[in-house]
Amino acid sequence: MSQPPGPAPLPARPLLITGARRADAGSGDLLIMDGRYADPADAPADAERVDADGLLALPGLVDPHTHLREPGREDTETIATGTAAAARGGYTAVLAMANTTPVTDTAEAAEYVLDVGAREGSAQVQPVGAVSKGLAGEELAELGLMARSRARVRMFSDDGRCVHDPTLMRRALEYVRTFGGVIAQHAQDPRLAGGQACCHEGEVSGRLGLPGWPAAAESTIVARDAQLAALTRSRVHVCHVSTAETVEVLRWAKQRGIAITAEVTPHHLMLTTDEVVGYDPTYKVNPPLRPAEDVTALREALADGTIDAVGTDHAPHARQDKEHAFADAAFGMLGLETALGVLIETMINTDRSDWSRVIEAMSHAPARIAGLPGQGRPIAIGEPANLTLIDPQARASVDAAASLSLSRNNPWHGRDLPDPVRMTVWAGRVTYRHD
């Protein structure tokens, strides 16, 4: 069970957590007062005490890629419900993508998202600004004004659409370099992957008669953007990497010292094109699910650091938008509540990664890439108290109806997965507690 969605509650008193192990710094009691870690020896007599024996303490998770849908599609998700789902998944911060209605392409729009998040969120909500006005790919949005606004936008993305024009992409990279920003690219060549394309181009798409797009539609854009990042001496971030070819491009670029980072989604680490065989539109996602060899390459790349971070690409949809024939349904699936469980299943339980690498990919790296100075910090006295307490051995069958999201396009429904999160603390406030 969980707390109802809504504003993060103010703590009634200090919080003393006893017995928790720390993946990056041994063990010991944790005292949280006034939003920060304090010396446990200073715990007041009236502090709330939490017995965390057998639990693992992680820095709060940070999602660099979340669709909260507000403003514009509050029937599918709101900032309140989306961040409640985030807290359920162990997240203390999310980067809210710009493809809302209206688009987050002005300082005023970015500040609106920031303010609603501060008022109603159960996690820090950091707006992502659009690269182009209206996501149209024709004219740069107000990058500088958004960067200088109260929202302090540092990540910009037309996610859902590729910044296909190389001149526009070059200008965007040059502009954000002046204030340390980053362009997060939805790498999908619209000509190679345009029209009615709805799944990976390969044996499965041919057998099912579904129009597909090739892996090259992703990797060619990543190669181009790596070259542009080198040319402009700026930073580019690749959203939702899905192919082995893209992994090779990333390795090539990083070996040359190009400032490129990348994320992978939990669903691309576990699900394959086999899910599409039943024509279930739940599994229609952009970029599409790929064959098993791509999944293996993505796991290896995350383990060795070629892929820097995990981004959920949490994409809620109303039933009327998702329950169609596969080719006509909306792209996207939920991911915030199950992301850590999928990482445990695919990376920890398979011995591909240890906890330090998972923490880096789900907390430290996303905060660093997105420029969130108070997030992804170590668990240490004086640091902001953003914390996730987990039981790595806990498991449960995923029930889509129990999700804190307003939407139900959950690809994990009915699957037995790790269900680790027992408590989430954001800025010293308990935002989720597993009963």
Does residue 32 sit within a domain?
no
Burial of 255 (0-12, 13-18, 19+ CB in 10 A): exposed
Does residue 306 sit within a domain?
yes
42 is in an annotated binding site: no
Note the pLDDT of residue 363: 98
Does residue 270 sit within a domain?
yes
Rounded to 5 degrees, what are φ and ψ at 196? Answer: -95, 10
Indicate the pTM of the whole model.
0.96
CA-to-CA distance for 10 and 197, rounded, in angstroms? 48
Two tokens at 376?
A: 């992804």
Two tokens at 33?
A: 């007062």
Q: Which residues contact 190 (CB under 8 A, 6 or more apart)?
A: 161, 162, 164
pLDDT tens digits for the chain (435 residues)? 344 344 444 544 899 999 999 986 667 899 999 999 999 999 999 999 999 999 999 999 999 999 999 999 999 999 999 999 999 999 999 999 999 999 999 999 999 999 999 999 999 999 999 999 999 999 999 999 999 999 999 999 999 999 999 999 999 999 999 999 999 999 999 999 988 899 999 999 999 999 999 999 999 999 999 999 999 999 999 999 999 999 999 999 999 999 999 999 999 999 999 999 999 999 999 999 999 999 999 999 999 999 999 999 999 999 999 999 999 999 999 999 999 999 999 999 999 999 999 999 999 999 999 999 999 999 999 999 999 999 999 999 999 999 999 999 999 999 999 999 999 999 999 999 998
Are 167 and 194 contacting, i.e. CB atoms less than 8 angstroms apart?
A: no
Nearest to 176 by CA among 140, 150, 149: 140
Annotation marks residue 313 as catalytic: yes
Two tokens at 3?
A: 């707390």
Structural domains of the chain, count: 1
Note the pLDDT of residue 3: 43
298 is in an annotated binding site: no
240 is in an annotated binding site: yes
Note the pLDDT of residue 195: 81
Q: What is the CATH number of the domain that holds 227?
A: 3.20.20.140
Does residue 227 sit within a domain?
yes
Q: Which of 189, 313, 321, 419 is catalytic?
A: 313
Note the pLDDT of residue 25: 66
Does residue 131 sit within a domain?
yes
Note the pLDDT of residue 27: 75
Domain that holds residue 279: 60-377
Rounded to 5 degrees, what are φ and ψ at 207? Answer: -70, -35
324 is in an annotated binding site: no
386 is in an annotated binding site: no
Tell me how crowded residue 171 is: count the other CB atoms within 10 A of its CB.
17
68 is in an annotated binding site: yes
413 is in an annotated binding site: no
268 is in an annotated binding site: no
Helices (H), strands (E): how many in the chain? Answer: 13, 22
Note the pLDDT of residue 338: 98
Beta strands in 229-288 (DSSP E): 236-238, 260-264
Note the pLDDT of residue 8: 46
- Taking 3-state DSSP, the helix, strand and coil percentages for the chain, each rounded to the nearest 5, stand at 35, 20, 45
Two tokens at 407?
A: 């939407």
Does residue 182 sit within a domain?
yes
